[in-house]
Chains A and B, each alone.
Chain A
Amino acid sequence: MPTTSTDLIAQLERLGGEFAAAIAPLADEQSIRAAQAQYLGKKGQVSDVMKELGRLPPAERPLVGQAANKVKDTIALAVEERLGALAAGRRAADLARAVDLTLPGRPVGGGHLHLLTQVRLELVEIFAEIGFAVAEGPQVETDWHTFEALAIPKDHPARDMQDTFYVADEIVLRTHTSPVQLRTRQTHTPPRRIVAPGVVYRRDDDATHSPMFTQIEGLVVDEGVRVSDLKGVLLHFVNRFYARLTGGAGLDVRLRPSYFPFVEPGVEIDMSCGFCRGAGCRLCKGSGWIEIGGAGMVDPDVFAQVGIDSERYTGFAFGMGIERMAMLRHGVNDIKYYYEGDLRFLDQF
């Protein structure tokens, strides 16, 4: 049967015309591509038609070639359209999804630091801002470091202030972190500027006293250290630590003369009550002031114990209870909660 260019062009146009219908029922890319190959591949139907091209006179061949290219374009376009339609359908189906976002979130982490650790880290940071480094020492301490060298000999009435746990005649559980300042003074020459946070022990047990608790003690030793410097450092601390509590209102610090054997002068530290702003409340017992710790200028006798010349160097020390700070700021109403590992408490912070 003779082949004419008209025939071939008609065959190609038919193939182009039937392709779109052929892939219309196909719903996945793979079968659409297979259908495309069936038409356009080396052994595809278009190729079959083009094999007849050689029989045509050369002058007619370009016409058929043009028709073949047109069919290829038509098929490619049909594939693209069909794939596009399928993608749009999938997108629409995906967007039709709806999730109940009132379901709880899947838990992540859930771990946290103990409130006392959080507060201690914050304190260390606050003091680091003004140049304090951290120092530590043992909890089971010598009587000498805990008392004797701090001008508290045996039978001194001040030992009543700190009822002590004994391990042996000369070994105690430290009742304050002051031995740490002594140890750093033994090993370091001035200038020194340290804070010593740490666990201490006293024989005392009620809602505001625990036989074990945490103190932070600060020490500055240098030439020309003054009572006014102590006041300034405490003001910095109070206003940084309690700032969020008072909504940014400035807190004042009051030093009240007191007695601690290892400092002279010795003072109690009061801060103005940020809870009632001085109007009087339960926390400040109506006085407008809250006692937050003790402090003073290092006693010359204590300097002498560690070989520091008290004519050349002066210094101050202060000590505060971390539990109490956290109680004040976070409203903890019984000190025992800190140490019981009770998740009902721990998980609140």
Chain B
Amino acid sequence: MKAVWSWLLELCDLSNVPTVEEGARALTAGGLEVESLVDLGAGFGGVVVAEVVGKRPHPESNKLTLVDVITARGGAATQVVCGAPNVPEPGRKVLWAPPGATLPGGMTLAVKAVKGVESPGMLCSETELEIGDDPSGIIVLDADDGTPLGARAQQALGVADWVLDVNAPANRGDCLGHLGLARELCALLGGRLVPPAPEPDLEALAADLDAAALADVTIGDPEGCPRYVARVIDGLTVRRSPRRFAQRLRAVGVRPISNLVDVTNYVLFELGQPLHAFDWHHVRGARGSRDATRGGVNAGGLYPGRGDGNVPCVIDVRRARAGERMTTLDGQERTLVPDDLLICDGERPVALAGVMGGSDSEVSATTSRVLLESASFQPRSIRRTARRLGLPSEASQRFERGVDPELAPLAAARAAVLLARLGGGRIARGQVDVYPRSPIRPIVPLRLSRIRSLIGADLHPGECEAALLRLGCEVVPDGEGHWKVTPPSARADLGREVDLIEDILRVHGYGNVPATLPALRVGPAQLVDDVADRARRALAGAGLAEAITFGFQSRDRAAALGLATDGSDRRAHPVALRNPMSAEQAVMRTSLLPNLLAAVARNASYGIADVALFEVGAVFLRAAGQALDGEPTALCDEPLHAAAVLAGARPRWLGAPQPWDVFDVKGVLEALTRALGAGELRTVAASDIPYLHPGVAARVHDADGRVIGELGEVHPAVRERLGVEGPVFMFDVALGALPAAAPARMRSIPRFPASARDVSLLLDDPIPAARVRDVISAASQDLVETVRLAEEYRDAARLGAGKKSMLWSISYRAADRTLTDAEVDAAHEAIVARLVAETPAERR
């Protein structure tokens, strides 16, 4: 909220008047962050208040006037040329920018000839000084303006002042008005709050009318409207507000409109109480009431009874009926829902409570009698209505955060006095105050021991008590180190001991709290599994760069994998967001792959074709038993996955590029499982994985045969859908499914040498290497230490079509002796025999 410094100071009596910078610092340190501090009058300089003492037409132009001004009583007059149509008669004050004065935008004035007559500087308009939006003429100060001649123009304009943009926390609705901020300044700097005291003026400006006879208020929904105060002000004339009054509104960001509207805004910003001014004559009485001039005849905008009908207007606060309609003062017809709280007259809704007035009852240029509403409304109700209709306003913003019901009478009286003053009217005697259930103010017990133990500093009891008093609390001692505290009604946020401790701490100052470390005590043991980070380190170590991508993605991207939608694959049924910010964030990812492929495409578009990326993160699957479509009714399964993509070529060193192939990505996967101690994984060729090349695809199984992931070359159609041109090799495994690694145990270092034997086999091409390995392992030769495929090639000319050659190298070793050639040969020949018979294969 924007606050005007002079306005704040008006509302407090501080022991030492601070500079605006000191005030801003104190508010910030107290939790009311001053986000900016603007000097209102900084835009121009050297412009002074001058009095017109004579004027006559310019000899050469009938649009120009020669104006004589003085800046000191009895001083010499200066003749200034002025082009404005509204040069006032002698005796009125204007603002003169003499030579040397500077205007917004940086222009410096000089003596300049205007159509042959020298003009030392100029007389200024609002737009020239950038303090208003009236370009039609020069600024003429109000007739009764008391600013002395020669004074700075800033003083006359009310801009010798600062605006503080204060960010009030969500629970401090009381700080959305100058009064609340002034209370804070008093608490933080030491001082006394001085709220406006309209009572004496109410008496002085009283009309010979009785409010109770002019307004009949009922609250049909006391929960929605705890209090409704109404006042009636009569005999008003609608006109512009005085300049400095209007300037304050401008400073807080509100455009001045007319005295009647400006007063309600002024009091809103001053006290934090939103008000609404109805044209009393347009608020109808009870249906069928005898005053025929009220109600029913407004079709032509004629109100013959204006001013004389003294039958009370009716105000009823109730919930809307389903389908009920009203036109708000912005001209929009609104369809209401039963949750909306309405202000109704005898016949129809006249305002959306706390949100916006109705068009039929708003004040206009002809309003003479105002029904002033100063009410409090339930925050939730206002919030819902304002939200539903998209009508956030200064008023709804305050009601949403809670407005103190105790504030209503003061605000009504303050506004009534200002209306009467600015509109030349009189105030009907008394107010209508409907307050069915005045809330019980809490009495909060407070312990010194708790203050000290929660803060960690030995505050003095006197300091605690003084802080609470300065905050406006009533404090009653209740035994040694105990108090009973009644917070001010404006502070609905202070209901518990801890709330009071916070405020004591705010006044004490967080800077005065020492820094300590909490005593380290052992809690219950907790198993921390950092498999995700171990996987990340392993993959980075294998030469890949880590990517982190969004947890959501577009439907297109999610669908790009072409997963089976027959219910067999949960990944094909992502959970959707109700309110994504864009189509790019429509659904939660079920695979890490699409985002990684998109990253490959993105890098390619930047000219980076060689990409080795991985991501380790959660994917989001509908929980078991959940429907495959629609909104879920349970949280998702969030399995942790690791996926990698290789595109382009290996990191290159001189010479030709070496493109990645699928065995690179398999090697990365093997490095990963090795690092995680997950044991041997098996890959089983699978041509039915929709997003992988049917001939370069496999499922990855753990040692127990469970499928934990997929490996292969991305299907060309899939990558093209995601904008990737060249081959991409990938794996995707569920880390959570990997067997938990037990700490590695040392095996004895061999003491005897190993012996190697090779066997060269000729096989049918489709026989996989795994088959050979399985046969070797099935031969159960205890002496076998390692089995390694050393070479594989095809050569139709030498080997025959559909054949391939494999060279396997098997190493034999015994733990307790050096093997003899005979032993090794025996074991090796046994294996070869089985290979020939079972694989089947020929020995070459």
Contacts and interface: CB of A to CB of B under 8 A. Distances in A.
A265 B383 contact: no
B538 to A, nearest CB: 9
Interface string A119-137: 0010000000011011100
B620 to A, nearest CB: 6
A112 B523 contact: no
Interface residues of A, number: 87
B510 A203 contact: no
Given A228-B514, A257-B31, A140 B169 contact: no
Residue picked from B522, B551, B576, B596, most chain A C-beta under 10 Å = B551
A111 B540 contact: yes
A256 B510 contact: yes
Interface stretch (B350-358, B403-411, B630-638, B769-777): B630-638
A203 B580 CA distance: 8
A171 interface: yes
B651 interface: yes
A220 B540 contact: no
A310 B401 CA distance: 27
Interface stretch (A5-13, A84-92, A100-108): A100-108
A210 to B, nearest CB: 8
A157 B383 contact: yes
B520 A130 contact: yes
A155 interface: yes
Contacts of B595: 341
A344 B602 CA distance: 11
Interface in A241-258: 253-258
A232 B517 contact: yes
Given A168-B578, A211-B581, A257-B510, A344 B551 contact: no
B606 A112 contact: no
Interface in B434-460: 453-457
Contacts of B550: 211-212, 339
Contacts of A155: 379-380, 383-384
A117 B546 contact: yes
A346 to B, nearest CB: 5
B332 interface: no
Contact of A224 (B30, B514, B519): B519
A257 B456 contact: no
A107 B28 contact: no
Given A138-B635, A158-B170, A257-B510, A130 B517 contact: yes
B533 to A, nearest CB: 7
A130 B502 CA distance: 26
A168 B633 CA distance: 7
B116 interface: no
B363 to A, nearest CB: 30
Contacts of A265: 498, 501-502, 505-506
Interface stretch (A43-51, A72-80, A191-199): A191-199
B596 to A, nearest CB: 7
A236 B618 CA distance: 31
B638 A113 contact: no
B611 A343 contact: yes
Nearest to A167: B575
Residue picked from B502, B518, B540, B602, most chain A C-beta under 10 Å = B518
Contacts of B171: 157-158, 259, 261
Contacts of B654: 103-104
A37 interface: no
B523 A171 contact: no
B517 A254 contact: no
B544 interface: yes
Interface string A225-249: 1111101110110000000000000
B73 interface: no
A331 interface: no
Contact of A117 (B519, B548, B618): B548
B170 A341 contact: no
B505 A227 contact: yes
B528 interface: yes
Contacts of B455: 226-228
A160 interface: yes
A297 to B, nearest CB: 6
Interface in B204-229: none
A232 B520 CA distance: 13
Contact of A171 (B516, B598, B632): B632
Interface string B513-532: 11111111111101010100
A229 B518 contact: yes
Interface in B595-643: 595-596, 598-600, 602-603, 606, 608, 611-613, 617-618, 620, 631-633, 635-636, 638
A341 B598 contact: yes
Interface in A298-342: 299-300, 314, 338-342
A45 to B, nearest CB: 39
A201 B602 CA distance: 23
Contacts of A114: 545-548
A340 B617 CA distance: 15
A116 interface: yes
A332 B518 CA distance: 34
B161 to A, nearest CB: 22
B548 A259 contact: no
A227 B380 CA distance: 32
Nearest to B588: A140
Contacts of B618: 139
A226 B452 CA distance: 9
A19 B768 CA distance: 62
Nearest to A109: B543
Nearest to B598: A341
A188 B524 contact: yes
B276 interface: no
B172 interface: yes
Contact of B551 (A105, A139, A297): A139
Contacts of A62: none
A167 B577 contact: yes
A165 interface: yes
A168 B456 contact: no
B545 A343 contact: yes
A338 B548 contact: yes
Contacts of B141: none
Contacts of B516: 226, 228-229, 231-232
A228 B510 contact: no
Given A203-B581, A226-B454, A255 B599 contact: no
17 contacts: A109-B541, A110-B543, A111-B541, A133-B528, A168-B633, A199-B617, A227-B456, A227-B513, A229-B517, A229-B518, A235-B515, A253-B515, A255-B513, A257-B169, A266-B169, A341-B600, A343-B611
Interface of B: 28-31, 33, 169-172, 379-380, 383-384, 400-401, 453-457, 496, 498-499, 501-502, 505-506, 510-511, 513-524, 526, 528, 530, 533, 536-537, 539-552, 575-581, 585, 588, 595-596, 598-600, 602-603, 606, 608, 611-613, 617-618, 620, 631-633, 635-636, 638, 651-654
> Closest 7 interchain pairs by CB?
A341-B599, A257-B31, A228-B456, A226-B456, A259-B169, A265-B502, A107-B651
Given A142-B635, A297-B498, A340-B602, 20 more contacts: A110-B612, A111-B541, A111-B543, A117-B546, A130-B517, A158-B170, A168-B633, A205-B581, A211-B585, A212-B551, A254-B510, A256-B31, A257-B169, A261-B171, A264-B502, A338-B548, A340-B599, A341-B595, A341-B599, A342-B599
